[in-house]
């Protein structure tokens, strides 16, 4: 099994080098790392040079960037990874076990990087909700057979909630496998904007989306 690790990047110069260096062993083992820069205003693109197998440019938009990466991927399985998320040890072997057991897609449990005890509650709730609903988030490092991703029609190119919509489409091919080993994702957004405030914002956005608010309108609230 060859894995294509696809990382959408936008203004990640402070983190991208360390993130990509952690993926070197996967490249040595024959997997590929693809970075798609969405027009960063810092030097993210230059920082990634020499640390990836493919370095691409696109217009900004996480869904668009991931789709462009998927189009250029040569692996059997696509792994969509945020620039501020670290994979657990032997993630490729964990994914291979899933695929070899005739499952088509899945995600990892998540751990937030912050030490505040409230983060433990947040991450536990995220993981439990995902297992119950079959909806994965980008922070959980979604992986999927490339053939199934293509049959599902790729990510819908919307400004927000693209992971929810992809999960809905992939569920028609089977339930996601919830790998218990954890990816570690940055808690910087919670720390910057306030833990409670960020949690309430995310709940509000999901509720508004459920009742039909467009991703474009939600994006203006999320990224402001």
Supply the DSSP string of 16-48, one letter for each residue: HHHHHHTTHHHHHTT-EEEEEE---SSSHHHHH
Model confidence over 77-116: pLDDT tens digits? Answer: 999 999 999 999 999 999 999 999 999 999 999 999 989 8
Dist. CA 179–CA 169, nearest whole Å: 20
Q: What percent of the chain shows pLDDT beyond 90?
A: 77
User: How much is the pLDDT for 187?
Assistant: 87
Q: Which two three-digit tokens encode residue 4?
A: 């294509």
Confidence check: pLDDT of 219 > 70: no
Confidence of residue 221 (pLDDT cuts 50, 70, 90): low
Q: Which two three-digit tokens encode residue 94?
A: 């964990």
How big is the CA angle at 9 (ends 122 and 126), to the nearest 5 degrees? Answer: 15
User: How much is the pLDDT for 201?
Assistant: 74
Confidence check: pLDDT of 180 > 60: yes
Complete edge-to-edge strand list for the sheet that includes strand 77-80:
54-57, 32-37, 3-9, 77-80, 143-145, 105-112, 177-185, 85-86
**Cβ partners under 8 Å of residue 114, min gap 6:** 187, 190, 191
User: How much is the pLDDT for 222?
Assistant: 62
Dist. CA 9–CA 74, nearest whole Å: 20
Chain-wide mean pLDDT for the chain? 91
Model confidence over 46-58: pLDDT tens digits? Answer: 999 999 999 999 9
Please indicate whether residue 142 or residue 202 has the higher confidence score (pLDDT): 142
User: How much is the pLDDT for 189?
Assistant: 80
Dist. CA 195–CA 181, nearest whole Å: 24
Model confidence over 102-155: pLDDT tens digits? Answer: 999 999 999 999 898 988 999 999 999 999 999 999 999 999 999 999 999 999
Fold of 3-188: Spore Coat Polysaccharide Biosynthesis Protein SpsA; Chain A (3.90.550)
């Amino acid at each position: 099994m060859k894995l294509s690790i696809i990382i959408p990047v936008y203004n990640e110069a402070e983190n991208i080098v360390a993130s990509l260096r952690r993926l070197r062993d996967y490249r040595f083992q024959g997997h590929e790392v693809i970075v798609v820069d969405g027009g960063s205003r810092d030097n993210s693109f230059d920082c990634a040079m020499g640390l990836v197998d493919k370095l691409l440019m696109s217009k900004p938009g996480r869904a668009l960037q991931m789709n462009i990466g998927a189009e250029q991927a040569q692996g059997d399985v696509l792994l969509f990874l945020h620039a501020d998320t670290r994979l657990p040890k032997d993630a490729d072997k964990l994914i291979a076990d899933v695929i070899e057991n005739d499952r088509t897609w899945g995600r990892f449990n998540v751990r937030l990087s912050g030490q505040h005890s409230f983060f433990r509650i947040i991450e536990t709730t995220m993981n439990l909700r995902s297992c119950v609903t079959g909806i994965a988030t980008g922070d959980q490092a979604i992986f999927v057979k490339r053939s199934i991703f293509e049959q599902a029609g790729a990510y819908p190119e919307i400004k927000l909630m693209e992971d929810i919509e992809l999960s809905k489409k992939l569920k028609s091919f089977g339930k996601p496998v919830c790998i218990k080993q954890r990816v570690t994702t940055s808690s910087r957004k919670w720390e910057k904007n306030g833990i409670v405030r960020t949690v309430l914002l995310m709940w509000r956005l999901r509720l508004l989306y459920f009742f039909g608010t467009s991703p474009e309108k939600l994006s203006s609230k999320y990224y402001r």
